[in-house]
Structure 1
């Protein structure tokens, strides 16, 4: 119904334009414009033609788009549109004449048939083809422009998210803490210091590999998450408890570095101590990856606007209609990420 009303609306607009053109023609030809001309049979017939041809053309284009989908099939759809319109337009004109002459004006059907001149069907058909071609051209331009705008939004969103992710990783506070932990480990435990350096190296290597990607495999992201967890464990020791419970799947994708941002978010906003360990649980449920941590918020909240979490939500919004689900209860904070094919 909504599509019909929209099609009818555009058909009426076209009709008004044609009516104005006809009025202009008579005004130029006769030097004046009389009401009798505007309500003549020819003018009324043109209005009827225009409305019905507009509706038929609109629905023809609609069904062809359903039958022949794809942006690269526009030329094929247009060719079929021309062929179908050449068949439909004369039929629409015939039915319009029948309604006007036989149904409304009570002309006998035999007389109506005897007065048919196929020459009178040529001009409406040509007009229908021209109007349909214009609609296809305008539709193509609008569709292309919308696609470009969408692509620009996606590029801008990805660039912002990637920049923010890199800023979070290169944040002086993060580097300062990491290097302090490394120095302490070198002095106390050379074996752990080596392990810590390897984990830190893997993290930055992964960041460099993923910075230009829209999506990465779930398997790669989980390997990276384990490297990052190892780094956190070396830093916080028994104050971090990590659980992983999911079935791996190489054919599912995830936004790169989203897990690192969520893990860093856990550290930033919660107390982390051996007396009150931070418990992080990652699991896969159907086509979603769920990250849960026990909630033990800091008494002095970290000065953050949760920009990392916001960027994850924004990046997913550009790639899928599936939402990022965020649930906060009295004792848990849960983020559910959609896994993409």
Structure 2
């Protein structure tokens, strides 16, 4: 498999990456990832409970405002710092656990890659082979970092999104109640209308993100390959004789070509990010407002208090954040797929060297 092959982002390289990377979870150091994952799970669940409590604080505070109840407003004001401090402490603990996890996994995976790359002079044989990935050092240092950083962030975020969606869908169903639509002498009742509106909105935004960002993984793969080729070209200058002309244009031609390709691929990536930002940023702006607007009929007909409107709008935004996990993480997921595939391509190449060596010894 060639490092220049655009199809490098695919299931086979990803499977090869996971075959090695999951060794961190099963070997002698397996207690580290499992302990850290347990810590992160506790943080996610506890943080969700805090978010749930803050959602009800939102209701109680605005209901007190609507009643002009000074004592209740003061009580809720005193309660807020304690809730905020608890949430901040949990967030700090989760950051420590997440980054410790990433650091440990990267150290383990990099060590494994270096062992395979340096054994049996594989690094020399890769450089001398045809069609092999260029500058394996870049894949070991940079791609291995991204390939171990992103899964932890994505997994923790996905777990949080699933639990948040399950929790706040119940809040939406309970607080939102039934919407009565009157027309032509009949009344149409829509129970749990906020839940169905939230699902429809999430399907729309997620579908839009998949549509506009469908080429992002391929573009990131091409950008990473161009970056590695530029590093290779610059490093190769050290092995060339001194230029006979002051400018040395002949020797710099390969570097200039590689740099032009890097800039071109970054331009393509910029276009991808602009399109995905259109969806993600638009969703960030609109989701809370859509939740408020959907609650207006209930508030006008006095079936919802002001506190319940703000509670439902906050729950709607929380559910949207959960349902739109793919919208928010699509660029990161595409970048991870590209880097993990590049590590998998390197491992395939090292596997081929090992197979060739065994065949030669057998013959």
Superposition TM-score, scaled by structure 1 size: 0.30
Higher strand share: 1
Higher helix share: 2
Which of the two has higher C-alpha Rg?
A: 1
Flag the structure with more relative contact order, 1 or 2, with Cα contacts below 8 A and sequence separation at least 6: 2
